[in-house]
Each structure stands twice: as C-alpha cells, then as structure tokens.
Amino acid sequence: MQRSVVKKKVMKANFVNPVEETMTSSSAPSRKALSKIACNRLQKELVEWQVNPPAGFKHKVTDNLQRWIIEVNGASGTLYANECYQLQVDFSEHYPMEAPQVIFLSPAPFHPHIYSNGHICLGFHIANADILYDSWSPAMTVSSICISILSMLSSSTVKQRPADNDRYVKNCRNGRSPKETRWWFHDDKV
Amino acid sequence: MAEEEEVLMEVEALQAVYGDDCLVIEKFPPNFHLHINPRTADDSSQQFVEAVIGVRACPQYPEEPPHLEIIGSKGLDGHRKKHLITRIQEKAHELSSCLMLVALCEEAVETLSNMNHPDGNCPLCLYPLVLEDKQNSFLPFMKLMSCFHCFHSECIIRWWKWLQEQKEINPNTSSYDTVCPSRDLENQREMHGTMKANMGNCPVCRMIFHTEDIEHVLNLVGTHSFQLNLEETEASSDEALLQSDSENIRRQKFETLLKLQQENSGLIEPKSIEVLLPGTFLPESITIPTVSVKATNKQQQGDPTSTLASETDSSGSSNKPSTSKPKNSGMRKYRAQNSRKQLKQWIKKENSATE
Ligand SMILES: [Zn+2]
Ligand SMILES: [Zn+2]
C-alpha cells in the first residue's frame, strides 16, 4: 500500500541539479570555491585515480579541480561498445558532504535514464546500491560514481530517451533554480 | 594414532578454555567455530578487528590437520584475512600429528591481536587512519561499534553535523537523506520515520548505528576543544593542524600506546577509570577505558551512562612501555566468561560486517 506512494514521491537527485548553465556547457559554474577540505579530498581522489583509474574511464587533465571532464568508453559486448561519451562532474564547495553534479556532455548517450540535455536519472530500479545517488554518502567517490554509471549503461537493453524527455528538458529551460529541481522517479519495475 | 577419547578430551579442554566463544558443532571428529577477539577485547572500544574461524577435522585427525577457514570477520580486509588463515595453517603443519586444536586457537588469537588496528584510509577524507611506517602522523579516530568501520573523529563529526544542519534547513526533503537504512526503497520509507531520531547509517556500509556512538565523540571533541566547528575546520589547513604542538604531543602519546600494545601482544592492562566512550579511540590522552561497554546493540540502546572524566597527569607516566609480562592466563578466563552475548550478536551481523 505504501508502494504507490513511494513511487510517486518526488526525489531530489542532489548530484545532478540541472543548473541552467550546464545547458550551455561552456559557461563556468557560478559556485563558491572549494573549501580546503573539499580540495584535499579531491586531490586525494585524483591521485588515487591516476594510480588506479576505473576501467573504461579517462580523466581529461585540466587545472580545474572543481570540474572534472571524464571520458567514458562503452563496455564491449554492450549497446554502447566502441562509443565514447564525456561526463562532466562538478563539485560544490561542500564536497564530499554534498554529492557532485554529474551530467553527460552533448551528445549524451541514448538511454532510458539519460535525458537529451545530459542529465542522468539513476533510480532505485537499478539493483546496484552504489548507484543510488539519492542516498549519496561522503564515502562514495568520483570513481565509484563512474563505475555505477558504466554499469547503468551496460545493463541497458534499448537505446532510447526517457519517456518524459521533452517535458523534462523543456522544464529545465524555464530557468528554475537548481534547488527546486527534483527528479521524478521512473515508474519502472522496482 | 590418538584414540578417539583423547580427541574428545581435547575438545572438552577447548570448551573449558574458550567457553561460549567456542561453538562446538560436532565433538568427533571435532568441528567447531571459534569467535576470536584481540586480547584487548575486554574493552570493546579498543577492539578494531574480530573474526570467527571454522575448524573441521576429519576422522584421521590429528594425523591429518583440520580444515581451517574464516567464517566471518570485522575490520579485516582480504589481505589481513589471508594472513590470519595462513598463520593458523602454518601452525597446523608445524604441529602435524599432535593434538593441536588449542594451540591453533591460541595462534589465531595471537595473530589477530597483532593486527588490532584499523586498516587503510579514513573513508571520508581518504587520508590514512594510522600510518604504520611513519611516526607521529595520525589524528584521533573512532570506530562505529556496529560495523567496526573507522573514521577520523573530526571527519565523522563534520559529516554528522552536516546531516543535522541539512535536516534543519530542509526538514521536508527528507528523501535526500543519508540516514536511510537499506538498499530497499520501500523499506527506507517505512522505517524512516521511526529510525531517524536516534540512529544513523554508517557512511560506508549503511549499517545502522546509534547516535550515542557519535554523540559521545561529539562531547569528547568539545571537551578537548578540537577544531570541530565547521567553519573553523575549513579554515585551518590540515598541515597546520598536524604541525601544532598539541598535535605532536598527542601523536607521541598514541605512539607510546601502540608500542605498549605491541610489546604485550595487544594486551593492555587496564590502569585507571577515566574516559569511557564506546568506539572512541583517542590518542591524545592515553587513558585506557576500563568499563566494558560491549559492542552489542542492545546494551548501547540501554543506557548511555558512560561517564566522562578526564585525568591528564597520570596518563603519561602510567602508560610508558614497561615490562612486558604475559597476562594471558587471567585474561583468558575473564574474556571467556564475558563474551556470551557477543557471539550471537556477531553472527547475526556477519553479512554486512565486512568491507
Ligand atoms: Zn578522515
Ligand atoms: Zn560501516
């Protein structure tokens, strides 16, 4: 009985706040500089990444610690084999308390949970707990997010946009504040 | 070849020594599970690892050594688990065709005692909890009693305060909530209302812990005027913190404690009744907690009666590495009597317990 209520519930996917400027991907994030703690943590993650990068990912070296651009190679044997996409990961000053915002840069892969503007909706229908961005924990890392996203891509059986793509993307253009942006959970099988 | 009777007597001896820590499944050929703690385990806050080993002998025992395995563990990564089992297996070969069960168990406890420190990095800042190779380079850390995951005290408190702040700012958007229990959405929603008040979830494994675990650290941190405050912490650079005098003293004291512990094979004699904080490991005053707050959820729920008294003068002198006298005999008995509840508790939790 709780079931239907649960599914209709509006969830805030904190890590992918569709900030307006991410629509026009070139503009810089208008966000406060990283705290010392966020800086230290990201530097540590970067070092770890260089030593031991997640398979299928390549970090494009920039001098911007606050925005990572990461190349994703579709895993062989999946719908996205031999395809390459780019993820943009933005960190708030409060990282890792706050989840990072992760979007695909254009062109975003066709996938039932990836909108044409690159926003990703990862929900509870995916059996992998790491993929629950809704329950972000500061013990997660960029690397663990990447692995989740690749597993989401790899498990896809069809290359298509989410059913509500047009409505969603249009809403994002209406310039509402990131704080108001919430995700509707897809009503797939749980 | 040993008679069956001899083997049966050995099993009896085993039960006498280990009491409830030893779960005998079969007397002959011997098949049992042994719950092992490091030798400091009378004080659960000083315990960072534990394990259950399975020993299964065949009818040809002791001509053939028993089969040995680790059935469950906390605080041990794959590497350390392998080390533990290898050591016991080596012992088994060494003692081949003697009655060896008690000796194997002692070897297991010994090995585990030497590994009684948290491993790896703080999951929140990704910096090491304990640097074994370098002297004097760590910050106070604590462990969650339920899952043995360890964090820098400062890091976990920062996270905890952040959660509280978020709740105040957005009391309605509870769906974004790190304090959600399980992987199952329905469950989360149903349990949410009832559990959020006095429980949290480990950032690593999401196992439920009682906020008392953290609040104790919170109080403690306040008492010792750590840089706790969000703004303050962010402003101060870690390097500066590491260099500071008080930090150096704290580290030296911790170093001393570790040495002492090593010399005594992980055995530390409780010296004074001072700080008692479940799960807190506080290098800066080497007071050794003596009241046993057991790592069972039940008791944690019960009463947070632990008192906090600080005594700084004596701690320095009373904990210098002194003569390392073996204390095994007395402690063993005590421990065996004391561990009734732990076995049950432990086995129940074993699935989610490992990393
Ligand atoms: Zn830390
Ligand atoms: Zn944990």
Interface A-B, measured as beta-carbon pairs within 8 A, has a size of: 73
- Can you tell me the mean pLDDT for B24-36? 95
Query: In this model, does residue B217 exceed pLDDT 60?
Result: yes
Contact B233 A37 (CB under 8 A): yes
Contact A37 B234 (CB under 8 A): yes
What confidence score (pLDDT) does residue B165 get?
87
Higher pLDDT, B231 or B214: B214
Query: In this model, does residue A83 exceed pLDDT 80?
Result: yes
B149/B75 Cα distance (integer angstroms):
7
Higher pLDDT, A29 or B70: B70
Overall pTM > 0.90:
no
Query: In this model, does residue A120 exceed pLDDT 60?
Result: yes
Query: In this model, does residue B49 exceed pLDDT 50?
Result: yes
Residue B336 domain-assigned? yes
Contact A9 B175 (CB under 8 A): yes
Residue A190 domain-assigned? no
Pull the structure tokens for residue A169.
Answer: 């993307």
- Can you tell me the mean pLDDT for B83-103? 94
* DSSP classification of residue A108: P
What confidence score (pLDDT) does residue B256 get?
57
Contact A36 B235 (CB under 8 A): yes
What confidence score (pLDDT) does residue A16 get?
41
Report which of B266, B261, B226 is spatially closest to residue B247, judged by C-alpha positions: B226
Residue B265 domain-assigned? no
Asked if B325 reaches chain A (Cβ–Cβ under 8 Å), the answer is no
A119: phi > 0 → left, psi -120 to 50 → alpha, else beta; which? beta
Give the number of residues written for chain A.
190
B226/B282 Cα distance (integer angstroms):
12
Asked if B162 reaches chain A (Cβ–Cβ under 8 Å), the answer is yes
Report which of A163, A154, A149 is spatially closest to residue A112, judged by C-alpha positions: A163
Query: In this model, does residue A90 exceed pLDDT 70?
Result: yes
B6 and B59 within one domain: yes
B151 and B106 within one domain: no
Higher pLDDT, B145 or B334: B145
Query: In this model, does residue B51 exceed pLDDT 50?
Result: yes
The dihedral built from the CA positions of residue A120, B189, B295 and B112, taken in this order, carries a sign that is negative
**Which one of the ligands is nearest to B155 CA?**
1
Residue B75 domain-assigned? yes
Q: What percent of chain B has pLDDT over 70?
A: 50
In tens, the pLDDT along A157-179 reads: 999 998 888 988 888 776 543 33
Residue B60 makes CB contacts below 8 A (sequence gap 6+) with none
B339 and B276 within one domain: yes
Instruction: Give the chain A residue whose CA is nearest to the CA of B181.
Output: A135
Residue A85: band (very low, low, confident or very high) from pLDDT cuts 50, 70, 90: very high
The dihedral built from the CA positions of residue B9, B10, B12 and B16, taken in this order, carries a sign that is positive
Q: Which of A166-180, B6-20, B63-77 has the lowest mean pLDDT?
A: A166-180
Residue B74 domain-assigned? yes
Residue A167 domain-assigned? yes
CA B150 to centroid of ligand 2, rounded, Å: 8
Number of domains in chain A: 1
Instruction: Give the chain A residue whose CA is nearest to the CA of B151.
Output: A139
Contact A138 B159 (CB under 8 A): yes
B68 and B106 within one domain: yes
Higher pLDDT, B130 or A133: B130
Asked if A135 reaches chain B (Cβ–Cβ under 8 Å), the answer is yes
Catalytic residues of A: 121
Q: For residue A138, give the nearest of B124, B176, B190 by CB distance.
A: B124
In sequence order, the β-bridge partners of residue B69 are B54
> Which of the residue ranges A162-176, B24-38, B237-251, B259-273 has the most confident prediction, judged by mean pLDDT?
B24-38
Residue B245 domain-assigned? no
Q: For residue B204, give the nearest of A2, A10, A139 by CB distance.
A: A139
Residue A30: band (very low, low, confident or very high) from pLDDT cuts 50, 70, 90: low
Work out the mean pLDDT of chain A and round it to a whole number.
75
Residue type, A101: Q
Residue B251 domain-assigned? no
Asked if A45 reaches chain B (Cβ–Cβ under 8 Å), the answer is yes
CA A63 to centroid of ligand 2, rounded, Å: 34
ipTM over 0.90: no
What confidence score (pLDDT) does residue A172 get?
79
Number of domains in chain B: 3
Residue A28: band (very low, low, confident or very high) from pLDDT cuts 50, 70, 90: very low
Work out the mean pLDDT of chain B and round it to a whole number.
67
CA B203 to centroid of ligand 2, rounded, Å: 7
> Which of the residue ranges A119-133, B24-38, B218-232, B257-271 has the most confident prediction, judged by mean pLDDT?
B24-38
B312 and B208 within one domain: no
Q: What CATH number is given to the structural domain containing A134?
A: 3.10.110.10
What confidence score (pLDDT) does residue B136 get?
53
Q: What CATH number is given to the structural domain containing B48?
A: 3.10.110.10
B297/B316 Cα distance (integer angstroms):
33
Report which of B17, B30, B176, B25 is spatially closest to residue A183, judged by C-alpha positions: B176
Residue B199 domain-assigned? yes
Residue by residue, DSSP assigns A163-175 as TTHHHHHHHHHTT
B250/B301 Cα distance (integer angstroms):
31
Owning domain of residue A48: 2-185
CA B155 to centroid of ligand 1, rounded, Å: 5
Pull the structure tokens for residue A133.
Answer: 């961005």
Query: In this model, does residue A100 exceed pLDDT 80?
Result: yes
Owning domain of residue B153: 137-228
Chain A residues 102-121 within an 8 A CB cutoff of chain B: none
